[in-house]
Every structure is written in structure tokens, then in C-alpha cells.
């Protein structure tokens, strides 16, 4: 009897856990395809006639379209510039910096401790005075704190795991340091570096507070989504659900990559 219950538990536990993890998201996705009258029912409906009206509404809405475009521009600029600055810096930290390396790495990490509010508030005033308040340029500049520090933090271990022998052999052959970096270290570290860029992409795509305070009008998608609470009289739950789905899709594309990153981090040994 006890064994029977044990067997049943083994079947049920994974199923329950998957429902806990994914159920709320699944329900929102369903809601995105419902008409409002299918949402406002006393008994939640699992079977209904799907509609794409909610997606049409949000994609026709100029504010949401602008938000989406701003998000794409800001996030790609931030990740790209972050990579251009952060990856060479991480390589230098992993390979050359002996005396100052640890201090610099601690400084980089400590930037991630900073409460975002403490960054946002002084920057509002500075941006107002400089005339770059509410511009995408200003937003990218602040986001570079996040992207450069995150990329350095994740890319240093990636370069440390590149075998030294290869770099030394190349240097012996007379390769200048930049060529060693470009032709040998970078391609070998590339898979882990890509993971670091994806992680940074997700962080910046998801960010709300800085975008809300520094670019209220030229806002990114999270700010726009956060501001839909009412269109007309009723809370437009279908539209909110559709906007949520739109916001959620880009980070989820990279889930497989995150899993791989996690596996390689765990395999390289608990810290």
C-alpha cells in the first residue's frame, strides 16, 4: 500500500510542479486569445472560440508599436556597445591584469549592487540639465552600466577557460596580441560569450524603473505595458494579456541557451 502511494506520488509530483511553474503563464496566453465576455465569467472557461482581436488591437495601437520599436533599438544598441566595450575588457582582465585585476572586478561587481533608484534620480536632473532627458540616447547610456558590467562579469570566466597553451603558441609564432585575441581567444570563448550577451539582453529587455523615470514619453515596451490599466470603462484584460505575451516572447526564445549556460557553470564546479 505504501509503495503504491509512493508510485502514485512519483507520477503526480512532476505534473503538479509543471502546473505550478507554467499554469499561470498558460492561463495568460489563453486569456490573450479570449474575448472579454469569455474572460468575465463566473466559472473560468477552458473551451472558447479563440480570437486574435486582442493582438490586432495592441499592434494597431501607436503607443505600443512605438514602445516595441524603442525597445528593439535601445536593447540592441545597449547589448552591441556593451559587447564592444566589455568583451575586450574581460579578456584583458582574464589574461593580463595581475595587480589590479581583482580590484577592478570587485568594482564591476559592486555596480550590480547599486539600487536602480540611486542611479535613476540623479540622472533625471543631469539629463534635464543636459537636454537629453526622455531620449533613447540617454536611456542607452544608463543601460550601459548594466550591460558592460554584466558582460565583463560573465566573460572573464569564459576567457579564463580558454587554454593558455593555444594563446602562448600563437604568440610564439609572432602573432601580435590583438591577433591572438581576435583569431584564437575570441572564437574559442564565443559560445560562452554568446550566453553572456543573451543574459544581458534579457536583463535590459525586462527593465522598467530606469525607462520609466528617464524616458517617460519615448518609453520602452515594459513602460507602455505597465501603463495599460484601463481603456474605456472596463479593465481590458484580453489586451493586457496579449501585451504580456508580446513582452514575454523574446526572452523565452533563449531558454535553451540559458539551460546550456547553467549546465556548463555547474559542471565547472560549485564555487
Partner 1 sequence: MTRKPFAALSLAPAIALLAMLAIVSVGGAIWLALMNRTLRSPDAEFVGAYNFLRLLRDRRFFNALEISVIWELFTVAGTILLAVTLAILIFETVKKPIWRNLLCFAFLVPVLLPRVAAAFIWRFLYSPSLGVINYLLGLVGIGPVEFLADPSLALVSVAVVDIWQWGLFFTVILLKLLETLPRDPIEAAMLDNARTWEIHAYVTLPMLKGPIISLVLVKAVESLRSFDLIFVMTGGGPGTATETLDLYAYQMGINMGGRISYASAMSILLLVVTTIAFTIIWKAGRRWAN
Footprint of partner 1 on residues 179-218 (CB under 8 A)?
A: 181, 202, 205-209, 212-213
Single out the residue of 250, 225, 208, 217 nearest to residue 64, CA to CA.
225
The reply on whether position 260 binds partner 1 by CB under 8 A is no
Shortest CB 62 distance to partner 1, Å: 20
205-212 LR contacts (CB < 8 Å, sep 24+): 205/71, 205/75, 205/250, 205/251, 206/251, 207/143, 207/146, 209/116, 209/117, 209/120, 210/116, 210/119, 210/120, 210/123, 210/139, 210/142, 210/143, 211/74, 211/139
- Residue in 54, 149, 150, 192 binding partner 1, rule: CB under 8 A: 149
With CB under 8 A as the contact rule, which of the stretches 55-63, 72-80, 83-91, 189-197 interacts with partner 1? 83-91
- Residue in 24, 163, 187, 191 binding partner 1, rule: CB under 8 A: 24
- Residue in 160, 186, 194, 254 binding partner 1, rule: CB under 8 A: 254
Instruction: Specify the residue, 161 or 263, whose C-beta has the smaller distance to partner 1.
Output: 263
Q: Does residue 158 contact residue 192 with C-beta atoms inside 8 Å?
A: yes
Q: What is the DSSP string of 10-79?
A: HHHHHHHHHHHHHHHHHHHHHHHTS-HHHHS-SS--SS-----HHHHHHHH-HHHHHHHHHHHHHHHHHH
Instruction: Specify the residue, 28 or 57, whose C-beta has the smaller distance to partner 1.
Output: 28
The reply on whether position 145 binds partner 1 by CB under 8 A is yes
Footprint (CB under 8 A) of partner 1, residues 105-144: 107-108, 110-126, 128-129, 141-142, 144
- Residue in 161, 217, 230, 263 binding partner 1, rule: CB under 8 A: 263
Shortest CB 102 distance to partner 1, Å: 13
With CB under 8 A as the contact rule, which of the stretches 7-15, 47-55, 61-69, 184-192 interacts with partner 1? 7-15
With CB under 8 A as the contact rule, which of the stretches 24-32, 54-62, 72-80, 186-194 interacts with partner 1? 24-32
User: What helix, strand, coil percent values describe the chain, rounded to 5?
Assistant: 80, 0, 20
Instruction: Specify the residue, 73 or 85, whose C-beta has the smaller distance to partner 1.
Output: 85
Q: How far apart are CA 149 and CA 102, in angstroms?
A: 14
Where residue 44 falls (left for φ over 0; alpha for ψ -120 to 50; beta otherwise) is beta
The reply on whether position 95 binds partner 1 by CB under 8 A is yes
Shortest CB 67 distance to partner 1, Å: 11
Footprint (CB under 8 A) of partner 1, residues 52-81: none
- Number of Cβ within 10 Å of residue 164's Cβ equals 9
Amino acid at each position: 500500500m505504501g509503495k503504491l502511494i509512493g508510485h502514485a506520488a512519483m507520477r503526480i509530483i512532476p505534473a503538479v510542479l509543471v502546473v505550478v511553474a507554467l499554469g499561470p503563464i498558460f492561463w495568460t496566453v489563453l486569456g490573450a486569445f479570449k474575448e472579454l465576455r469569455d474572460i468575465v465569467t463566473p466559472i473560468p472557461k477552458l473551451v472558447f472560440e479563440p480570437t486574435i482581436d486582442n493582438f490586432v488591437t495592441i499592434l494597431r495601437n501607436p503607443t505600443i508599436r512605438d514602445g516595441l520599436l524603442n525597445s528593439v533599438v535601445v536593447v540592441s544598441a545597449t547589448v552591441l556597445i556593451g559587447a564592444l566595450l566589455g568583451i575586450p575588457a574581460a579578456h584583458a582582465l582574464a589574461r593580463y591584469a595581475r595587480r589590479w585585476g581583482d580590484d577592478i572586478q570587485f568594482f564591476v561587481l559592486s555596480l550590480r549592487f547599486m539600487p536602480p533608484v540611486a542611479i535613476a534620480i540623479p540622472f533625471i536632473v543631469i539629463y534635464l540639465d543636459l537636454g537629453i532627458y526622455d531620449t533613447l540616447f540617454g536611456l542607452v547610456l544608463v543601460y550601459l552600466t548594466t550591460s558592460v558590467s554584466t558582460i565583463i562579469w560573465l566573460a572573464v570566466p569564459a576567457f579564463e577557460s580558454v587554454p593558455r597553451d593555444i594563446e602562448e603558441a600563437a604568440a610564439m609564432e609572432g602573432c601580435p596580441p590583438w591577433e591572438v585575441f581576435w583569431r584564437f581567444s575570441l572564437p574559442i570563448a564565443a559560445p560562452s560569450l554568446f550566453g553572456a550577451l543573451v543574459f544581458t539582453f534579457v536583463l535590459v529587455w525586462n527593465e522598467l524603473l530606469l525607462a520609466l523615470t528617464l524616458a517617460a514619453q519615448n518609453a520602452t515596451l515594459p513602460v507602455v505595458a505597465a501603463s495599460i490599466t484601463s481603456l474605456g470603462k472596463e479593465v481590458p484584460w484580453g489586451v493586457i494579456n496579449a501585451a504580456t505575451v508580446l513582452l514575454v516572447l523574446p526572452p523565452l526564445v533563449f531558454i535553451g541557451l540559458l539551460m546550456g549556460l547553467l549546465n556548463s557553470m555547474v559542471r565547472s564546479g560549485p564555487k
